[in-house]
């Protein structure tokens, strides 16, 4: 995270493991919400994938890894289950939120805690294949900074696949990025990417867009997709509208975040000039042709456009000032953590 980032609100004491390794070449982040039934099988698959010789040969010995599970306010006993696994699986780390803050904040917390040169994200619903991680790391080692999975053959109902195709098509059209699946939960990053990403709202859907905007090289790799085995999807009908609003936010951020005057100033200039031309026409019409002006609606339109232009221009100036002076902070509250190293625990508050 950037230097101006403030630590998240800490509500309970933090348990940590000072004997755990401070550094791991590979960090795996698993955001979860009420996935208690899926967790044993998922963790078993992750450990099996980490034991493959083909994966270990991609790293300089000795190879180690950590699995950071970020509980986004689950109401089942997911946290208790993870806690019971830690004595036998010391690579597990737990960060538990006070309430449900959303997947974006869960990923942000995971990125804060990750220590690996490579950072992998994977959903907890068993629909992603952990054994694809090694192929994605190989792709990153070809010179890319972020490799996103492509669920080429989705095992989801039409209620999810059709909106997803629409979402990906619109995103490709407006961003010029030729990925097929922007929102795949299975991704592998170089740590430089996760350190520079600043996420809020539901912008996890647009991570490839934000990474490309920052100058990172991105690629895509087809991955196996599985049908959901336990539970139900956590997405409702509000996903479409929140995704639309975040899409507009990302378009603005990637084009005008550091130069808001270019957006508001141009809109203000067009509005002001339109109003000025209308007002000039009315004035000349009165002077040259002695036409009445008080009962002409176009006069009020010209005045409105001039006022709107001034307001937009002022908004651009305020945006310029805010973009250079504002400091961003975390917007999630951590209830507890388990098995973090001392350096990781300090990122979420005092480690006493």
> For position 233, which CATH number holds?
3.90.550.10
Strand arrangement of the beta sheet that strand 218-223 belongs to = 9-10, 333-338, 92-97, 65-71, 26-32, 118-121, 187-190, 146-151, 218-223
- Asked, for residue 218, whether it belongs to a domain, the answer is yes
**Residue 3: inside a domain, yes or no?**
no
Please indicate, yes or no, if residue 191 is contained in any of the structural domains. Answer: yes
DSSP state of 12: S
- β-pairing, 187-190 with 146-151? antiparallel
What total of structural domains would you count in the chain? 2
What does the pLDDT read at residue 13?
41
Looking at the domain assignment, is residue 333 inside a domain? yes
218 lies in the same domain as 271: no
Average confidence (pLDDT) per 10 residues, the chain, 352 residues: 48 44 83 95 97 93 93 94 96 96 93 96 95 97 97 80 85 90 95 91 87 95 88 58 68 68 80 92 87 82 91 77 58 91 84 50
Which pTM value belongs to this model?
A: 0.76
Can you give the pLDDT at residue 329? 61
Residues 231 and 285 in one domain: no
Question: Based on the domain organization, do 335 and 189 belong to the same domain?
Answer: yes
- For helices 297-325 and 260-289, the axis angle rounded to 10 degrees is 160
Residue with structure tokens 């899409």? Answer: 247
Helices of type H across 141-259: 158-175, 191-196, 207-213, 238-256
Burial of 209 (0-12, 13-18, 19+ CB in 10 A): buried
Distance in angstroms (rounded) separating the CA atoms of residues 30 and 21: 19
**What is the domain extent for residue 200?**
9-257+328-346
First to last CA, the chain: 23
**Assigned domain for 2 exists:** no
């Amino acid at each position: 995270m950037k230097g101006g980032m403030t630590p998240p609100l800490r509500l309970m004491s933090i348990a940590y493991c000072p004997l755990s390794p401070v550094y791991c070449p590979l960090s795996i982040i698993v955001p979860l919400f009420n996935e208690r039934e899926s967790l044993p099988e998922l963790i078993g698959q992750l450990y099996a994938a980490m034991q493959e010789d083909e994966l270990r040969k991609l790293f300089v010995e000795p190879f180690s890894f950590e699995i950071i599970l970020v509980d986004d306010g689950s109401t089942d006993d997911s946290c208790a289950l993870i806690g019971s696994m830690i004595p036998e699986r010391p690579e597990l780390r737990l960060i538990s939120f006070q309430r449900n803050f959303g997947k974006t904040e869960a990923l942000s917390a995971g990125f804060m805690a990750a220590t690996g040169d490579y950072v992998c994200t994977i959903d907890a619903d068993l629909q992603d294949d952990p054994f694809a991680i090694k192929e994605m790391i190989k792709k990153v080692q070809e010179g890319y900074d972020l490799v996103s999975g492509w669920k080429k053959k989705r095992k989801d109902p039409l209620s999810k696949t059709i909106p997803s195709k629409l979402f990906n098509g619109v995103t490709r059209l407006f961003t010029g990025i030729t990925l097929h699946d922007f929102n795949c939960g299975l991704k592998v990053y170089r740590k430089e990417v996760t350190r520079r990403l600043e996420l809020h709202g539901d912008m996890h859907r647009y991570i490839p867009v934000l990474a490309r905007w920052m100058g990172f090289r991105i690629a895509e790799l087809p991955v196996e997709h599985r049908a959901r085995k336990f539970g139900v999807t956590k997405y409702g009908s509000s996903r479409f509208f929140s995704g639309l609003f975040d899409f507009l936010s990302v378009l603005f951020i990637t084009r005008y975040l550091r130069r808001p005057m270019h957006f508001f100033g141009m809109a203000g200039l067009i509005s002001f000039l339109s109003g000025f031309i209308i007002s000039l026409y009315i004035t000349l019409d009165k002077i040259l042709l002695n036409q009445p002006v008080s009962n002409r609606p176009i006069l009020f339109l010209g005045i409105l456009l001039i006022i709107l232009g001034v307001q937009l221009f002022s908004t651009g100036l305020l945006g310029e000032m805010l973009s250079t002076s504002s400091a961003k902070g975390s917007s999630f509250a951590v209830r507890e953590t388990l098995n973090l190293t001392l350096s990781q625990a300090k990122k979420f508050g005092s480690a006493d």
